[in-house]
Amino acid sequence: MKQLSPVCRALLAGALLLSCLNPAAAEVISTKTYSYFSIGGKTAEDLDRELSQRGPVTKSTGFRHPGATEIKFGGELTYVEKNGRCGVGTVKVTLHTKILLPRWSNRRRTNADLALIWDTLAADIKRHEERHAEIARGYARDLDQKLRALRPQADCETMQKMVAEVSQEVMDAHDKDQVRFDKIESKNFDARMTRLLKNRIQQRAGSR
């Protein structure tokens, strides 16, 4: 997984707007896009080498991976001063995810067995990266809810510090959850691929 600008750590702390707007309902604005990188080769060994040489490099590991998910959190927040206290007004949390996946140029020119292996691997890579995006969406919603739930404070400086602290806590939890997911997936890779390949082979045999 590749993370970009880890959620502006304090939810765009430098751009938080201090205003007297009326509170409004908040919502998470989430977008997801896809891009692809091409790999060549004609054998399983070729595919392994191509993925190792052409896969995206992630900042979190410094190594190349068969796929990646770029995650960018952001947003805007306003404050409301009322009855001598300062509270959160409008909240807009944004999340942009970009999933980067491999595309094998020789997929249509290979034998059935290698095509089955590739299709199984490619589907698992996509599932893995989609899960990274899902984890991020969950934390975006969590951040949105926690910011809206903050109680008014004596002044807006104190309120802003609370917003920054809550944002940091949610982002730290998000990062740890993403790392935890990668570790579990890596540990179970061999068993998972064996199971997935077995299922696909059975399905192919049953369709004949």
Over the Cα atoms of the chain, what is R_g?
Answer: 22
pLDDT at residue 6 greater than cutoff 90: no
Three-state DSSP at 35 gives strand
Q: Which spans in 112-188 are helix H? A: 112-148, 156-187
Q: What is the pLDDT of residues 82-103, one digit of tens each?
A: 899 999 999 999 999 999 999 9
Half-sphere exposure (Cβ direction) of 144: Cα atoms closer than 13 Å: 22
Mean of pLDDT values over 137-163: 95
Q: Considering the entire predicted model, what is its pTM?
A: 0.81
Q: Tell me which residue has tokens 């990646």.
A: 68
Which residues on neighbouring strands pair with residue 73, listed in sequence order? 95
pLDDT at residue 204 greater than cutoff 90: no
- Using 50, 70 and 90 to split pLDDT, how confident is the model at 11? very low
62/40 Cα distance (integer angstroms): 23
Identify the pLDDT of residue 49. 92
**Region at 187 (left for phi over 0; alpha for psi -120 to 50; beta for the rest):** alpha
CA angle at 47 for the pair 42 and 50, rounded to the nearest 5°: 115
Give the closest residue to 125 by CA, choosing from 191, 193, 33, 172.
193
